[in-house]
Amino acid sequence: MHPKIALIARVGAHKTFEALGLKPEKTEVFPTPYGDSRPIHFFRHQGLEFALLSRHGEAGYDLSAPFLNPRANLYALKSLGIQKILAWVAPGSLREEMAPGDLVVPHDILDEGRGGPHTFFPNVGWGFIRHNPVFCPELRSALISTLQGVPFKVHSQGVYVATIGPRLETAAEIRKLRLLGGDLVGQTLVPEVFLARELEFCYAALTYVVNYAEGLVDRPYQPGVLFEGLATPEEMAQVAAVEQAFPNLLTKVLTALAAAPRACPCPRLLERYRLRGDIGEDWRTWVR
């Protein structure tokens, strides 16, 4: 198999596709200069080949966001010839109008976590890259078009605020993030999106809201349940409905994204450094 598109997803996402009757043709862990990648599953569906890896674990939530190794995952995907990545994430909402169960295609990032490492290029003179647009415009356009008519509310824009966990944010922090213009809050897109741009991937994200962030609505603390009561049973049912629909939805989305052109700047984000002679055509020689 030679897939050109990959899905970086939630815990045990391969099982979501197996429930549709799709079995991975193979699963491999790839050694990289940054350590081993997460297991990468290779799927084929109606002529579409795609790779899939779950950031946080295969069977359960084994590793929280601050301790992920996106450099290893992205290096492995680049080695496989992947050109496009769809990130599947589940943030909280900073806006009442973005309710649990809604789909959001973010268009920008606020990095309030400053976690790292943020770069493949330490201690060298390259790596300055514009981050507007931070998400691939070709993939975003195809994604938004494909989501027309789905039985869920879709928001075609959103500012994703990245924080560092594993703790959740305080109510005061959420008020600050709203004032800064944030719409969503999560811990997984950064530094992944910045690292993906350094390797010239086309990268976009599809998020589904799982809860209102702390202090946005009045929710009593409930020990022993998901997010300790931030989401009501009704909201969790709405989220479960989206999760149940995602296998069919994502196969449709991935097909559309795979067909999208690469007329965007993404494949040439480091062109200035090629022309300057700092880097060559073999991307493996760029990274440290």
Q: What share of the chain has pLDDT > 70, as a percent? A: 99
Picking from 188, 194, 202, 191, the residue whose alpha carbon sits closest to that of residue 78 is 202
Question: Parallel, antiparallel, or unpaired: how do β-strands 35-36 and 202-208 relate?
Answer: unpaired
pLDDT digits (tens, 9 = 90+) for 244-268: 898 889 989 999 999 999 999 999 9
- Per the model's pLDDT, the better-predicted residue between 79 and 57 turns out to be 79
pTM (predicted TM-score): 0.95
pLDDT digits (tens, 9 = 90+) for 86-113: 999 999 999 999 999 999 999 999 999 8
Picking from 258, 249, 283, 252, the residue whose alpha carbon sits closest to that of residue 269 is 283
Residues present in the chain in total: 288
Q: What is the pLDDT of residue 189?
A: 96
Cα end-to-end span (Å), the chain: 28
pLDDT at 57 > cutoff 90: no
Q: What is the pLDDT of residue 110?
A: 97
- Does residue 248 sit in helix, strand or coil? helix
Across the range 162-185, mean pLDDT stands at 96
Beta-carbon contacts of residue 81 (< 8 Å; ≥ 6 apart): 2, 3, 4
Across the range 131-151, mean pLDDT stands at 96
Q: What is the pLDDT of residue 130?
A: 94
Ramachandran assignment for 254, one of left (phi > 0), alpha (psi -120 to 50 degrees), beta (any other): alpha
Across the range 62-75, mean pLDDT stands at 90
Q: pLDDT class for 21, splitting at 50, 70, 90?
A: confident
Across the range 217-223, mean pLDDT stands at 90
**Domains (ranges, CATH) in the chain?**
5-285 (3.40.50.1580)
pLDDT at 64 > cutoff 90: no
Across the range 177-204, mean pLDDT stands at 97
Beta-carbon contacts of residue 9 (< 8 Å; ≥ 6 apart): 16, 52, 53, 54, 55, 87, 88
* Number of Cα atoms under 13 Å in the Cβ half of residue 2: 1
pLDDT at 288 > cutoff 70: no
Across the range 58-66, mean pLDDT stands at 77
